[in-house]
């Protein structure tokens, strides 16, 4: 009886570590009479608690000062990360020798006060953990972007001087590359628009929407035309700050575009300027688009169904009236619901589920495992300057294949608020790079509710922990026959890696290819993941494995460009390697 009371006390104190112990507390049948059984039971509980802590991941502080706020972020195939911010945000951390117009910055009092004499874009070297300042030239605040088939980042629109600009950054190995302003400009101002790379040989990008703009156009420019899209008029909420900015765009595997704004969505044939179908309105009150700012992801496409099943997911957002309330200093509780819907086929219905807590302004990233990481954001208010409160410090992990109600788990909390103008991207080594946050009109570090944030962090998911290294495929290399450029659609290529046979089998190894996004304002533009077909896998000596994979069948499934290929064994991913899918 004494031991029983002791165990009950232990269980009460342990519930905060492992909530599943509630079951044991409620079950009155458990009585123990031997000290050995008691110790064994305590060890079991302790191991469960340790496993749960390890399963939450960990945070790494990489740099105390990036020099700029990472409002926009994109990964290059040279394993560097481009970051950019508003050019009028104030004196950034890196001075420039010359302005974009060519005049010198001489260090005079006037030049020290001139934001044009400071870098508002940087390149971060992941391996070296170092920063190189860049000259972006025009204001990229609220811009959109896509990574072209040769790895060049095209960034379109922005604020003021940048609202019609088209900027290019072609990454290089020598560290001498910088931003280039395109000679042609957009047809109209594009501030808070969205981009999607299209399955065309000329690297066509569609640019859609913007503040008080209800049209779309294409880059590279063939004409100075933009095309009216009534759907953007229909979803516009004048009293809510628009609530259809940064519209969600996902490329379906049939070549059409899924477009979501506010609460509604369509399947759009951009070649014929025609709405193919209208989907049901997502249930619930509130909006999901900027400034209400939910987030969206297209779940991994799978070779097993010919990549024909396409499912989107949209989570969080702001309640009705949040925009007006924020102007009065009141921050309404955000939305807690998520919706999933298959956009292909003939039956369309939102499957709704609940986030662990209310959330908006979050980033949704696909991990090599096919799981979704939800990171950054707030619990109250809406997007914009000084319009939110109560930061969401805990990331969530979402496992799409689990049963409804068991898909979410809460991960290790950060101590840094990541609010308006924050960003996050997946790195090839499996970490998630997190930066930015500035709800203020200028850089402000004192006497504000939420100071400007210049620290750079990485979140390390639990599956990248050392305790799983024995299951992790290592030394991954990609071999392409007959080409040093890339893999043609439908062609075979080989992947070699090391994995002891006792730690894996063909049925437990999965190959994923990930297209890294342009990330800003909770939008991960062009993000997609493919589960590739493995046609053969041969184990050699010393754990060497050679696998023959098949590239995606069409650019509609995977627009041409660089993808991060991961080998995943029993849910444990390798370090990713770059592979390029190309038009024949």
The answer to whether residues 132 and 50 belong to one domain is no
How far apart (Å, rounded) are the C-alpha atoms in residues 275 and 391? 38
**Cα diameter, the chain:** 85
pLDDT tens per residue, range 122-181: 999 999 999 999 999 999 999 999 999 999 999 999 999 899 999 999 999 988 999 999
| SS3 track for 142-186 | CCEEEECCCCCEEEECCCHHHCCCEEEECCCCCCCCCCEECCCCC
The fraction of the chain above a pLDDT of 70, given in percent, is 91
The fraction of the chain above a pLDDT of 90, given in percent, is 80
The answer to whether residues 116 and 227 belong to one domain is yes
- Please give the pLDDT value at position 31: 42
pLDDT-derived band at 54 (thresholds 50, 70, 90) equals: low
pLDDT tens per residue, range 452-475: 999 999 999 999 999 999 999 999
Look at residue 544 and tell me whether its pLDDT is greater than 70.
Answer: yes
Q: Which residue has the tokens 């009155």?
A: 28
- Please give the pLDDT value at position 52: 43
Q: Which domain holds residue 533?
A: 466-582
For the segment 397-414, the average pLDDT, to the nearest whole number, is 97
Contacts of 555 (CB under 8 A, 6+ apart): 199, 200, 489, 581, 583
Decide which of 464, 484, 514 is a domain's last residue: 464
Helix ranges (DSSP H) in 410-565: none
The answer to whether residues 287 and 209 belong to one domain is yes
**CA-to-CA dists, residue 554 to 198, 199, 218, 307, 583, angstroms:** 12, 8, 21, 10, 9
Q: Which of 21-35, 105-119, 180-194, 328-342 has the lowest mean pLDDT?
A: 21-35
As for how many domains the chain has, the answer is 3
- Please give the pLDDT value at position 26: 37
Higher pLDDT, 556 or 110: 556
The answer to whether residues 472 and 458 belong to one domain is no
The answer to whether residues 443 and 509 belong to one domain is no
pLDDT tens per residue, range 268-292: 999 999 999 999 999 999 999 999 9
- Within 10 Å of residue 527's Cβ, how many Cβ atoms? 22
Closest CA to 345 of 377, 309, 378, 296: 309
How far apart (Å, rounded) are the C-alpha atoms in residues 325 and 190? 27
How far apart (Å, rounded) are the C-alpha atoms in residues 534 and 537? 7
- Please give the pLDDT value at position 135: 94
In which region does residue 174 sit, left (phi positive, over 0), alpha (psi from -120 to 50) or beta (all else)?
alpha
The answer to whether residues 50 and 68 belong to one domain is no
- Indicate yes or no: pTM above 0.75: yes
Decide which of 12, 36, 54 is a domain's last residue: 54
User: Mean pLDDT score of the chain, rounded to an integer?
Assistant: 90
- Please give the pLDDT value at position 12: 36
For the segment 201-222, the average pLDDT, to the nearest whole number, is 96
How far apart (Å, rounded) are the C-alpha atoms in residues 195 and 520? 11
The answer to whether residues 426 and 558 belong to one domain is no
Q: Which of 16-25, 69-78, 244-253, 387-396 has the lowest mean pLDDT?
A: 16-25
- Please give the pLDDT value at position 584: 78
The answer to whether residues 326 and 410 belong to one domain is yes
Contacts of 403 (CB under 8 A, 6+ apart): none
The answer to whether residues 505 and 359 belong to one domain is no
How far apart (Å, rounded) are the C-alpha atoms in residues 153 and 82? 9
In this structure, what are the phi and psi dihedrals at residue 33, rounded to the nearest 5 degrees?
-125, -10
- Please give the pLDDT value at position 209: 98
Higher pLDDT, 352 or 49: 352
The answer to whether residues 318 and 360 belong to one domain is yes
The answer to whether residues 34 and 80 belong to one domain is no
- Please give the pLDDT value at position 268: 98
Decide which of 438, 464, 490 is a domain's last residue: 464
Q: Are the beta carbons of 546 and 537 closer than 8 angstroms?
A: yes
Q: Are the beta carbons of 267 and 276 closer than 8 angstroms?
A: yes
| SS3 track for 241-263 | CECCECCEEEECCCCCEEEEECC
């Amino acid at each position: 009886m004494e031991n029983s009371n002791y165990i009950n006390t232990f269980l009460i104190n342990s519930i905060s570590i492992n909530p599943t112990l509630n079951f044991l507390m409620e079950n009155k049948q458990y009585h123990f009479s031997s000290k050995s059984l008691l110790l064994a039971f305590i060890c079991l509980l302790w191991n469960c608690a340790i496993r749960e802590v390890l399963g939450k991941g960990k945070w790494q502080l990489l740099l105390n000062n990036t020099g700029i706020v990472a409002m926009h972020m994109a990964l290059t195939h040279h394993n560097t990360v481009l970051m950019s911010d508003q050019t009028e945000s104030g004196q950034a951390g890196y001075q420039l020798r010359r302005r974009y117009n060519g005049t010198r910055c001489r260090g005079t009092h006037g030049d020290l006060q001139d934001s044009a004499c400071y870098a508002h874009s940087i390149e971060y070297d992941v391996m070296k953990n170092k920063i190189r300042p860049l000259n972006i030239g025009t204001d990229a605040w609220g811009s959109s972007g896509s990574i072209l088939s040769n790895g060049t980042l095209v960034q379109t629109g922005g604020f003021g001087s940048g609202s019609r600009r088209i900027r290019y950054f072609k990454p290089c190995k020598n560290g001498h590359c910088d931003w280039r302003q395109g000679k042609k400009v957009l047809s109209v101002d594009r501030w808070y628009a969205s981009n999607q790379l299209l399955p065309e040989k000329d690297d066509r990008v569609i640019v859609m929407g913007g503040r008080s703009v209800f049209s779309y156009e294409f880059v590279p420019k063939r004409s100075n035309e933009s095309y009216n899209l009534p759907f953007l008029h229909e979803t516009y909420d004048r009293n809510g700050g628009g609530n259809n900015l940064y519209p969600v765009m996902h490329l379906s595997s049939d070549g059409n575009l899924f477009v979501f704004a506010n609460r509604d969505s369509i399947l759009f044939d951009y070649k014929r300027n025609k709405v193919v179908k209208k989907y049901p309105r997502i249930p619930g009150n509130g909006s999901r688009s900027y400034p209400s700012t939910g987030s969206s992801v297209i779940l991994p496409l799978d070779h097993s169904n010919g990549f024909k099943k396409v499912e989107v997911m949209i989570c969080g957002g702001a309640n009705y009236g949040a925009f007006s309330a924020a102007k009065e200093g009141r921050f309404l509780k955000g939305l807690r619901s998520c919706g999933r819907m298959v956009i292909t086929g003939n039956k369309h219905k939102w499957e709704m589920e609940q986030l662990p807590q209310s959330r908006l302004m979050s980033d949704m990233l696909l991990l090599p495992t096919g799981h979704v990481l939800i990171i950054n954001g707030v619990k109250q208010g809406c997007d914009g300057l000084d319009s939110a409160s109560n930061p969401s410090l805990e990331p969530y992990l979402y496992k799409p294949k689990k049963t409804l109600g068991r898909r979410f788990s809460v991960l290790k909390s950060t101590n840094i608020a990541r609010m308006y103008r924050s960003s996050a991207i997946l790195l090839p080594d499996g970490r998630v790079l997190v930066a930015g946050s500035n709800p203020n009109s200028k850089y402000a570090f004192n006497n504000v509710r939420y100071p400007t944030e210049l620290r750079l962090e990485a979140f390390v998911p639990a599956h990248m922990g050392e305790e799983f290294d024995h299951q992790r495929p290592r030394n991954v290399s990609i071999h392409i026959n007959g080409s040093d450029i890339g893999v043609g659609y439908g062609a075979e290529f080989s992947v070699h890696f090391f994995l002891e046979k006792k730690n894996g089998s063909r049925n437990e190894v999965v190959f994923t290819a990930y297209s890294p996004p342009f990330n800003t304002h909770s939008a991960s533009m062009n993000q997609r993941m493919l589960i590739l077909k493995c046609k053969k896998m041969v184990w050699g000596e010393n754990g060497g494995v050679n696998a023959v994979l098949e590239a995606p069948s069409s650019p509609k499934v995977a627009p041409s460009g660089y993808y991060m290929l991961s080998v995943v064994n029993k849910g444990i991913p390798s370090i990713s390697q770059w592979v390029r899918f190309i038009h024949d």
